[in-house]
Each structure stands twice: as structure tokens, then as C-alpha cells.
Chain A
Amino acid sequence: MTYRAYVAPIEIRVCGRSSTVTISASAATTEVMLNGVAVRPTSPSVYELIGTSGKLHVECPEGCAVSVSTASGSITTRGRLGSVRVMTVSGTVRLELASDVEARSASGRMKIGDCDGCCRVVTGSGRIELDSSADVQISTVSGRVDVGQLRSRGAIRTVTGAVSVDADIDAQLEVHTVSGKVAVELPASATGTMALRSVTGRVSGELAAGDGAHIEVSSISGAIEIRTG
């Protein structure tokens, strides 16, 4: 019988008030480096990196859990990471690949690539662009929301922000907005159920009845359009 030692996943916490933070994950990297210099963990498996301005470039192994906080500095991740948490007031956020994402900003724009699991994004006015995720939970006041591929389920709330979602054939999607325009597109072969309601906005929906997708959209004045094709 063989035993494998338990190795705790590496967690990297980065704080940079106005620093530009870049995190590059690579399978070829075995240690955590800050601006080209290897750093020691502050506690087993946890690295705390703090900067106030300038550039913080962190290199780490793939799959690390990352938590980044800035006030105005931008945050960029490259390569495959584990759980990613980012908080910024006004910095732009660009995340490439993560197992799950929790991202918040007041006005910073969010551009997120592929998220395997749950992608939860909260902004005040920042635009949110997400390429692909299984589970999407998005909330914004006035930011526009674009989801390139919703693979499983999604819940999106906006006040004035427009919403555009390309959903998979069996997606379960709920969108609530006050005045944002909502456009959802499903594959041509999709069937399912819809519950669409707009008090004064135009509503148009085409989805053959059957099992599969469930699309629920409510708005006060925003137009709603559900398309297949």
C-alpha cells in the first residue's frame, strides 16, 4: 500500500493599493515568485504579498488559490488558477482561467475568460464580460453584462445595465432588471420553458416547448428578446 502525503493547495494573497497586479500561473513553475524573486510563505502554503504602488508580478504554479485586492490598480491573471477572489474599487480586472471566481468592483470593468464552476461578479457601474462559466451569479447597477456561454445555470440582476447571454441547450437562467435590455440566445435545437415579463418593454421570445432550458426574465421597462439559432 502506498501513501501520498497531503499537500495543501497554495494560496496567494496580494494587496496592492494602486499597484498593477499580474498573476501568471504555469505548469512549469514550482515556486511563488514576486517580480522575479522567490518568496517564502508567511504560513504553510499561504503567501501574503503587499505593495502600495508600481507593478506586482506574481508567478506561481497552476491551480493556486488567489485573492487580490486593490483600490485603483488593475488586476490580471494568466494561466489556470484555482479559486480566484478579487476586490477592487476602480481597477480593471482581467481573469483568464479559474476553477471558480468571486469578483467585486465599484466601477472597475471585469473581463473574465473561462470559469469551471461558479462565477460570482458584483459591480456598481463596471461592465462585465464573461466568456464561459457553468454557474453565473452577476449583479450590477448600471454595468452592461455579456456572457458568451452559460453552460448550466445563471442568475443576473441589473438596474439599468443591458444583459446579453448565449446559453447552452439546457441552461437554467433567471434575469431581473429594471430598465436594461435583455437578449438571450439559445441553440437552434433548444426546447424548454420561458417566463417573460416586462411592464412596458417589448417582449419577444421563441423557444419550442419541451424539456431542457428554462428562461425567466422580468423587467420594468427593458425590452426582452429570446432567440434560438
Chain B
Amino acid sequence: MFTDIVGFTELTELHGDEVALKLVDAHEVAVRSILGEGSRIVKELGDGMLLWFDSALAAMSSSLRLQGRLTDLEVDTFPLWVRVGAHFGTPRQRGDDLIGRDVNLASRIAAVAAPGEVVVSEAFVDQVGVESRAAGTREPASFCSLGSVFVKGIATPVPLYRAEPHIS
């Protein structure tokens, strides 16, 4: 799963490095607050993070919780708008890092999301369904098709979905 602070470059350009630092710090605090057992920050990418979860269901719930926490959050009056993209796959491990096609794809998926959104791949949607059925629980989100998107380096367009929390 990738997270990315929206408009970070523009914000830094307009309001300086101090604001940028505060936003990155607040982003990290928010991300750490939603991580549980079986998940970790793989690496920090300046204005974003690569996260790993051992279950798609946990990743789904955590990403929705993250966006919920960020909805009205302000950092010194600046909004912290984050987009999230998630994919289910089998990345290769290199030390603490993860690499491979699935990681690249997750990164591209995050770029499609709007602030406050969680956008996921079809493989992710399928896996959430499998894990929900196995656990005997309702899926934590509904998935709205966005159609397919051309992703750099991948020949065929990739079907994507917007995850939306159920309204309780």
C-alpha cells in the first residue's frame, strides 16, 4: 500500500520547508496510528510511504481508518490531504525493502487516487472478498469501478476500484 501527500511539492514551494516538515511528521503519526500486528512501514518516501500488510482485509480496514482520521485534520491550518493506493501481490523482499512489479503497480495506483480516497486493484478487491468470507465477516468497504487505467510499463490497462466505507 502506498500513501502520498497530495500537492506536497506545491505546498512546499508556497509555504516553505517548515510546513513541509510538519506535514510529513503528521502524516507519519497518522500512519503509525493505524498499523497493527502484521503490518509495517517498509520505507518513507519523503511525501509518502510504502506500507506492507500480511492481509488485504487488514490493509483495507487500516486505509479507511487512516482516511477517516485525516478527513478534518489540519496541521497549523494546512490540510493534510493524502491519497492511498493498494494492490495485492507477492513482492520480493530485499533486506527490509520490497521490490517488484506488484510494488510498482501499487505506486501507480496511488497516483490515481484523489485526496481522501483509497483506490485499489482488482486483485486486492478479490483478496478482500476471499479473506472476508474466510473470516465470516462483511467486507469493510464497497468497491466502485473506475474503469481501467493505463499504467506506465504495463501493456494492458489495469481495472481499478474506489473503496468506500459502508455508511453505518
Contact = CB atoms under 8 A, between A and B. Distances in A.
8 contacts: A13-B148, A15-B148, A88-B150, A102-B146, A102-B147, A159-B11, A220-B15, A220-B77
A142 B10 contact: yes
B115 A139 contact: yes
Nearest to B144: A102
Contact of B14 (A70, A87, A89, A179): A179
B145 A141 contact: no
A141 B7 contact: yes
How big is chain A's contact interface, by range?
Answer: 20 to 34
Contacts of B113: 122
A193 B114 CA distance: 28
Interface string A84-123: 0111110000000000001010100000000000000010
Contacts of B147: 13, 67-69, 85-87, 102
Interface of A: 13, 15, 17, 67-71, 85-89, 102, 104, 106, 122, 139, 141-142, 157, 159-160, 176, 178-179, 199, 220-221
B7 A178 contact: yes
A131 B150 CA distance: 28
B111 A139 contact: no
B14 to A, nearest CB: 6
Interface string B1-40: 0000011001100110000000000000000000000000
Interface of B: 6-7, 10-11, 14-15, 77-79, 81, 111-115, 117, 144-150, 156-157, 160
Contact of B114 (A69, A85, A122, A179): A122
Most buried by A among B147, B156, B157: B147
A159 B77 contact: no
Interface of B (DSSP majority class): mixed
B14 A157 contact: no
Contacts of A104: 112, 114, 146, 149
A178 B150 contact: no
B146 A160 contact: no
A220 B78 contact: yes
Contacts of A139: 114-115
Given A15-B148, A160-B10, A220-B15, A178 B111 contact: no
